[in-house]
C-alpha cells in the first residue's frame, strides 16, 4: 500500500525493515538546519573568538560523528558503512546566523536521509552549545531533507532546489 508506514506491522508493533532483498545502489541525501543568532554572536563565531574554541570546526566534526552513529540514536535505523559525510557551515547575514548543510552517501540497500538529518541537527546543536554563554536566545530551525537520490523510489528534491 502506497504511503504505508514500513516500520509498523499490521498488528501495530514496530520492527526493523528487512532490506536484504533490495538492490545495492548509490544513495545520497542532503539535509540542512539553521541556527539563528544575534549579529554579534555570528561575528564572534566567524572571527574565532568563542571561549570554547573553533565553533565551525567542532560543529563539522560533531555532525560527521553523529551521522556515523545514527543507528545508535534512532530506533530501527540500519547501521551503514557510509562512504562520505560532508558538513558545510555557511554564514547567512540575513538571518543572522549559520546555515548547516550535511551530505551523506553510501552504496547500500537503504537510504541515508536519517544520517544527513542527524548530521545537520547535531552540528546545529553543537553551534548552540559552544555559543550559548553569549546568546541563550539562539534558535535552531529548518531541519529538513533537501534532496535524496538512489533506491527504488528514485530521486527527490525540495521544490525550488
**Portion of the chain with pLDDT greater than 70, in percent:** 87
Q: What is the pLDDT of residue 51?
A: 95
What is the pTM (predicted TM-score) of this model? 0.89
- Mean pLDDT along residues 121-136: 98
Q: What is the pLDDT of residue 18?
A: 59
Spatial contact of 50 and 130, defined as CB atoms under 8 Å apart: yes
pLDDT classification of 46: cutoffs 50, 70, 90: very high
Spatial contact of 56 and 131, defined as CB atoms under 8 Å apart: no
How many Cα neighbours within 13 Å face the side chain of 44? 18
Buried b (16+ CB within 10 A) or exposed e, 42-71: bebbeeeebeeeebbebbbebbbbbbbebb
Active site residues: 129
Torsion region of 3: left, alpha or beta (phi above 0 gives left; psi -120 to 50 gives alpha): left
Amino acid at each position: 500500500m502506497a504511503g504505508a508506514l514500513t516500520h509498523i506491522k499490521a498488528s501495530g508493533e514496530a520492527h526493523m525493515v528487512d532490506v536484504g532483498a533490495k538492490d545495492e545502489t548509490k544513495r545520497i541525501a542532503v539535509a540542512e538546519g539553521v541556527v539563528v543568532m544575534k549579529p554579534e554572536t555570528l561575528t564572534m563565531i566567524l572571527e574565532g573568538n568563542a571561549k570554547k574554541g573553533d565553533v565551525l570546526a567542532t560543529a563539522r566534526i560533531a555532525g560527521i560523528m553523529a551521522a556515523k552513529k545514527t543507528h545508535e540514536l534512532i530506533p530501527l535505523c540500519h547501521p551503514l558503512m557510509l562512504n562520505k559525510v560532508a558538513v558545510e557551515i555557511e554564514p547567512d547575514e540575513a538571518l543572522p546566523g549559520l546555515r548547516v548543510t550535511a551530505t551523506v552517501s553510501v552504496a547500500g540497500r537503504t537510504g541515508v536521509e536519517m544520517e544527513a538529518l542527524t548530521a545537520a541537527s547535531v552540528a546545529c546543536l553543537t553551534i548552540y552549545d559552544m555559543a550559548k554563554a553569549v546568546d541563550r536566545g539562539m534558535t535552531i530551525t529548518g531541519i529538513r531533507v533537501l534532496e535524496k537520490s538512489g533506491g527504488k523510489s528514485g530521486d527527490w528534491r525540495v521544490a525550488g532546489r
